[in-house]
Amino acid sequence: MSNTPHDQHSAPSTADHAGSVTDIGVERLSKVYAQAIIEAADRKHCRREVLEELRSIVRDVLPRVPKAAIVFDSPKVTPDEKSSIINRICAGRVHPTTLHSLHVLARHGRLGILAQVVAAAERHADELDGRRQATFTTAVPLDPAEMSQIVATVEKSVGGSLSPTFIVNPELIGGLIVRVADTVYDHSVATSLVRLRARLKQRSIHEIQYGRDRLGTA
């Protein structure tokens, strides 16, 4: 990345490692690196591919190789050693821009905040595309048609495109909670959403009752 971000050398020495950076510092740094990654990917016309690969590393690879995550976050492991690990895990398997982004983070001692950088990159990409991130929490799993209906309803209400994430929380008796950016809708955003929320609540109640009936007959 030609516009690789550089950390401020005037910062306290304890901020040279990701594990000791404050939450605010991590958020700020994540945004800086995320923007640089998106800009580099856009120059190569590979934004979607790079984001998918970085997302897969964070969500699929690192959880299966916990030692790698520990090494990435350790200030005792040199940048060269971290780059060597990156090459062993990723070289030849990911886009060159993805690999270069990981090496930049390693060189600056920021691999420990890789998950935050990827999340910030996804948010930045959504913003560039005019989409707002939205989280839909439901008491029961939804089928694709129900998901599409909810998203379409909320998009119409808020007047813009959304990048949806669905979460299932069985303890959510209310049936549905919608978060768009920093705004939470715990009841409704439209009449049709109220009706859908009621159906989800009813489904949740039925599933709870069904579980009790099965226990009673066991």
- The residue from 75, 98, 127 where one domain ends is 127
Domain-located, residue 81: yes
**Does pLDDT of 18 surpass 50?**
no
Nearest to 25 by CA among 7, 42, 39: 7
In what helix (H) or strand (E) does residue 134 lie, and over which residues does it extend? strand 131-138
Number of domains observed in the structure of the chain: 2
74 and 61 co-located in one domain: yes
- The residue from 70, 97, 127 where one domain ends is 127
pLDDT at 141: 87
**Does pLDDT of 8 surpass 60?**
no
Domain-located, residue 74: yes
Percent of the chain residues topping a pLDDT of 70: 73
Residue range 188-210: mean pLDDT, rounded: 60
Highest averaged pLDDT of the listed ranges 84-98, 130-144, 154-168: 84-98
Q: Please give the angle made by the CA atoms of 119, 121 and 123, to the nearest 5 degrees.
A: 70
140 and 87 co-located in one domain: no
140 and 193 co-located in one domain: yes
Domain-located, residue 2: no
pLDDT at 11: 34
**Residue 50 is part of a domain; what is its CATH number?**
1.10.520
DSSP code, position 19 = G
The answer to which of 31-35, 105-109, 200-204 has the lowest mean pLDDT is: 200-204
pTM of the entire predicted model? 0.61
71 and 100 co-located in one domain: yes
136 and 122 co-located in one domain: no
pLDDT at 190: 42
List the domain range (segments joined by +) for residue 196. Answer: 131-217
Domain-located, residue 18: yes
101 and 194 co-located in one domain: no
Domain-located, residue 166: yes
Residue range 130-159: mean pLDDT, rounded: 87
Residue with more model confidence, 194 or 115: 115
pLDDT at 12: 33
The answer to which of 115-129, 157-171, 183-197 has the lowest mean pLDDT is: 183-197
Residue 162, SS3?
strand
**Does pLDDT of 124 surpass 80?**
yes
Domain-located, residue 5: no
Return the amino acid letter for 92. G
For 39-75, how does the pLDDT look when each residue is reduced to its tens digit (9 = 90+)? 999 999 999 999 999 999 999 988 888 888 889 889 8
For 74-88, how does the pLDDT look when each residue is reduced to its tens digit (9 = 90+)? 989 999 999 999 998
Residue range 96-108: mean pLDDT, rounded: 96
Residue with more model confidence, 155 or 174: 155
**Residue 173 is part of a domain; what is its CATH number?**
3.40.30
123 and 135 co-located in one domain: no
Domain-located, residue 1: no
Residue range 119-140: mean pLDDT, rounded: 89
CA 163 – CA 152 distance, rounded (Å): 11
Place of tokens 């050693």: 81
86 and 185 co-located in one domain: no
